[in-house]
Amino acid sequence: MKFNRLFLFALLATLTLALSACGAPPATNWPGMSTDGDLIYLSSNSHVYIVQVQNGTESTANISGKITPLRFPIEADPGKMSFYAPPALAEDGLMVVGSAAAGGHALYAADSATGNVRWTFDNTKPWLGGALILEDAIFAPSGDGTLYAFNMSGSKLWEKNLSTHALWTTPVSDGNYIYLATLDHKMYCLDPNSGNIVWSKDLDNGMIGSPAIVDGVLYVGTLDGNLYSIDASNGNTNWVKSLEGSIWGTPGFGEGSLYIGTVFGRAGKFYALDAATGEVKWFRDEEGSIVAGPLVTNEQVVYVTELGRIQSLDISGAPKWQDNFEKNKIFTTPLLVQDTIVVAPMGSQFLMVAYDLNGAKKWTFTPAK
Amino acid sequence: MWDLLIVNPFTNILLLIYAFVGNFGVSIILFTILIRIATHPIMAKQIKSGAAMQELMASEEWKKIQEKYKNDKEKLAQEQMRIYQERGINPFGSCLPTLIQFPILIGFYQSIVRAISATPMQMIDLVRGIYPWLENITAKASLSALIPINSQFLWMDLGQPERVIIPGLAFGIPVLAIIVGLTTFVQTKLTMTPSASPNDQTAMMNQQMSIMMPLMLFYFSLNFASGLAVYFIASNLVGILQYAALGKVNWNNLLVFGSNKTAAPAKKSGK
């Protein structure tokens, strides 16, 4: 009987541990990155880190007479604050980012120079999509399927429920309208002043990546591997191209070409297409799946894979340079800041790694404790 | 391997049921019933083993050796093994079936979490794990039709811990977790095996179980995705029905509280 009692306790303890380890909220996601041209803002779980592009060190602030790394929040509160969305940045130093923590689903507007909160907006669901700042308004997609619009002081301008599922993508704009892709197959064009739907289009499959918008044309990929070119003015399809695998990232654009990777089982494929016609110019097989959208610069296109590879190609598809984080996954689109390419691997001792345009490593970033 | 053998098949069965019924909460309930039916022979064996063990412990022979070798644990263990062999009882017979059900519970929870996919990163595994031939069974099981899963069921989001918000109250009430605690308590009380003596260890363990299990599952339901709580409730209710069908439900136990004594099961009519 003693055995039975011990067994019972052991069973319950193991069950608790096993269930706790296998998916209990809060669920995590890949980090989000954005830049104001000088600083890199990295949403990585407990903090948004603010890092200088020149040397990869954290900005600092004088808080109560003590020089402290400038982060948001200054002191971690993981039960209430977890960040994965790319922070939205305004010219006056306002930074907007929502929390996806189990115990706190607030949208925060903070002063990026001090880390102080200017205002918050509480919600019942996590924020995984990044906000868009357009002129004097903030447009934030929420886990409750609603797009919220605020002025810069945090007063709600309007809200529009767009989905029964959470909104995961960051809205984009051409300066006139807002465009939002949803997991429940719909692409929306909204009036930023009223939130009214200008047009919507059913693409027959979910979208995880935001659309790219170039010269009045939206480019967006779906989970069944269809890449769409859509007229942003009316939602009409210019062309659609079926690729192998599913599309998760935002397509990159450069010199008339579109670049996008796919998740093809555990492997991936990287495509270059003619943006005008959708014809495939070339493609390249990868051992690891390609979840993130690529970074396109003047002379190269850089993509990252789930197996931790960072691959640079020239516009003809020929390899330029590469690096590998074999034990780490990379799901975040690389960021170009001045002449530095920044990558955010997951599970690495480094939260960010920076390269020059020739692939030479410039710095790594590990937060100070 | 775990994914291949447990989580992926479970997820695909859940998705297939969802494709037919169009409601993820109902899919969880139906899949729970399926699992209960599939593991019914194991449970029946567990009940049989438990009853045989109980009968053995109430026997004079067992009590005698407990008394005779109370100061010689090694000899006591040898004698116990001898009696097990003579009576053809496997002392682990009531534990092994529980062990077998254990991975099912873990796998089922993982498959619920995966199917609901609270983040894009979780959805990668979902999209990867959907069997391509699923859509050959029904078009409603295609990737396009399945994703996104509608995780709303009644008033809850099955991917999040459940709370009912009442205006004026600063906190949400975990209605589902309370129902889980209650149904687990009722199931534990109804399915307790009778003990020969109110002071023996079985009775004490039963007593502990009837308190600990409801608290434990209440805690899980409070903190984990509410889809798991739906599973617990459905599993408890089907479990009571299974015990009732086997004539092992002790209805009188519901009226016994705060005592170590458990009532004998009601005799099946016609026997």
d(CA B183, CA B214): 8
| Cβ pair B148:A15 closer than 8 A | no
For residue B220, which of B180, B183, B182 has the smallest C-alpha distance?
A: B180
pLDDT at residue B259, rounded to an integer: 47
CA distance B124 to A246: 10
On chain B, the residues whose CB falls within 8 A of the CB of A289 are 124
Nearest-neighbour CA in chain B from A298: distance (Å): 30
B25: helix, strand or coil: helix
The percent of residues in chain A predicted with pLDDT above 90, rounded, is 82
Interface residue A126 vs chain B (CB under 8 A): yes
Q: Which residues of chain B neighbour A19 with C-beta distances below 8 Å?
A: 106, 109, 220, 224, 228
pLDDT tens digits for range B198-245? 555 556 666 777 788 889 889 888 888 888 899 999 988 998 888 888
Report which of residues B105 and A148 the model is more confident about: A148
Nearest to A300 by CA among A214, A359, A227, A364: A359
Of the given ranges (A96-100, A282-286, A326-330, B171-175), which has the lowest mean pLDDT?
Answer: B171-175
DSSP class per residue in A212-224: EEETTEEEEE-TT
**Cα separation values, B126 from A101, A350, B104, B185, Å:** 22, 28, 19, 34
Q: How far is CA A289 from CA A168, A205, A217, A266, A350, in A?
A: 20, 19, 27, 6, 21
The Cα–Cα gap between A257 and A209 comes to 18
- Pick the residue with more confidence: A1 or B141? B141
**B117-128 pLDDT per residue, tens:** 889 999 999 999
| Average pLDDT value for chain B | 81
Contacts of A168 (CB under 8 A, 6+ apart): A128, A129, A141, A183, A208, B119, B120
Reported as type and span, the H/E element at residue B36 is helix B24-38
Judged by CB atoms within 8 Å, which residues 107-126 of B form the interface with A? Answer: 109-110, 113-114, 118-124
Question: Looking at this predicted complex, what is its ipTM?
Answer: 0.89
Interchain pair A205, B98: CB under 8 A: no
Is the confidence at residue B90, as pLDDT, over 80? no
Q: Is pLDDT of A291 > 90?
A: yes
Question: What pTM, to 2 d.p., does this model score?
Answer: 0.84
Q: What pLDDT score does A25 carry?
A: 45
Query: A268 pLDDT exceeds 90?
Result: yes
Q: CA–CA separation, A328 vs A185, rounded Å?
A: 31
The A residues from 246 to 265 touching B (CB cutoff 8 Å) are 246, 248, 263, 265
Contact partners, residue A294, CB within 8 Å, separation at least 6: A249, A251, A252, A259, A260, A261, A270, A301, A302, A303, A333, A334
Closest to A292 (Cα-Cα) out of A86, A24, A140: A86
Contact A304, A268 (CB under 8 A): no
pLDDT band (50, 70, 90) for residue B257: low
Is residue A2 predicted with pLDDT exceeding 70? no
- B105, B128, B148 ranked by CB distance to A184: nearest: B148
Opening angle at CA A280, ends A276 and A285, nearest 5: 145
User: Please, which residues 7-46 of chain A have a Cβ atom closer than 8 Å to chain B?
Assistant: 7-8, 11-12, 14-16, 18-19, 22-25, 27-30
Confidence check: pLDDT of A103 > 90: no
Q: Is the pLDDT of residue A327 over 90?
A: no
Query: Which residues in A100-254 belong to E strands, given as ranges?
Result: 106-111, 117-122, 132-134, 137-141, 146-151, 156-161, 172-173, 178-181, 186-190, 197-202, 212-214, 217-221, 226-231, 237-242, 252-254
